[in-house]
Amino acid sequence: MKDRHTMRAWSLLALSATAVLPIALACQPPQNNPPPNVATTASGAYPYAAAPPGYPPAYPGQPGYPAPTAAQPSYPPATTGQAAYPAAPPPGYAAPGYPAPGTMPPGPAQPAPSGSSAPGLAPTDPNSLQGILQGIQSALQGQTVPGGGGGIDLTDIGLKAYALRVAPGMQPDGDELKQTLQQGQHAVMMVTLQAGKCYTLVGFSVPGAVSDVDLNLLAPPLYMTLAGQDLSHNNTPVIGANPGQMCPVIAFPLQYKLDVVANKGSGLVAVQLYSKNK
């Protein structure tokens, strides 16, 4: 009887152990499975397998991030005080390859009229001097009429009307040249300039006659230097138009040679010197 109870107790004990063993084995952590690749709170790693576009790749020591490849170059982050890209130039400074603000890009040089060799007179174009000197070698001695003209033809009327505009407040000074010129022909006359006065030389040819008249003032003593010049190309040439009148500074009177040339067209030309006191 006693043996029967003992065997029964052992059977119950064995049955209990068999039931508990699977539960105990299931509660133990697996030994061979690697930890999942998930960043923890203490880690600064990005939870993606590769850095997203626009972000630097992973730094060494962070598991799960591949090394940079040729298709994914590594760019070091900008440090303090060092911009990642070139900054725009400060105001007032030019970017490389561009002109400074307020300036223009360089262009081809343009010849400017030179200053007159005679102080107080008009600007000139020295490039034309050689042609003028050649032209006056065969120039006509200009025909003159008493100062102010006195004629009533259209050339005189046009000259006086134009003088009111370019030589206001001035009076005729000396004789008036009145000459018929063929195209390319020169005529010369002498004019006297002195200190204490300001001067304007006015020329005129009616429309349909000489359409391009030029005036050239040559300085003494050799008359091989330009002292003033009309730089326009029309039938109304002027040297010393208001407010740029010629005002000599030399104390004594000097005689200048005035060259009048018909560059285009033929017909009657009138030229008068006008003056006023300073």
State what percent of residues in the chain have pLDDT above 90: 51
Q: Find the angle CA(260)-CA(266)-CA(269) to the nearest 5 degrees.
A: 45
What confidence tens digit (pLDDT) does each residue in 122-161 have? 888 889 999 999 999 999 999 999 876 666 799 999 999 9
Going by the DSSP 8-state scheme, the letter that residue 79 receives in this structure is P
What confidence tens digit (pLDDT) does each residue in 236-274 have? 999 999 999 999 998 899 999 999 999 999 999 999 999
**Whose structure tokens read 């509660």?**
27
Q: What is the pLDDT of residue 121?
A: 82
Q: What is the pTM of this model?
A: 0.58
CATH level 2 (architecture), domain 128-277: Sandwich (2.60)
**Whose structure tokens read 């018929």?**
180
* Pick from 10-14, 85-89, 102-106: least confident: 102-106
What confidence tens digit (pLDDT) does each residue in 34-88 have? 444 544 444 444 444 455 566 555 455 455 555 555 554 544 554 554 444 445 5
- Helix, strand, coil shares, percent, the chain, to 5: 20, 25, 55
**Residue 157 class from Cβ within 10 Å (0-12 exposed, 13-18 middle, 19+ buried)?**
middle
- C-alpha closest to that of 231 among 212, 249, 246: 212
In angstroms, rounded to a whole number, what is the distance separating the alpha carbons of residues 202 and 272?
5
Q: What is the pLDDT of residue 10?
A: 52
Contacts of 239 (CB under 8 A, 6+ apart): 122, 200, 201, 215, 217, 228, 229, 230, 246
Q: Quick count: other Cβ atoms within 10 Å of Cβ 178?
A: 21
What ranges do the domains of the chain cover? Answer: 128-277
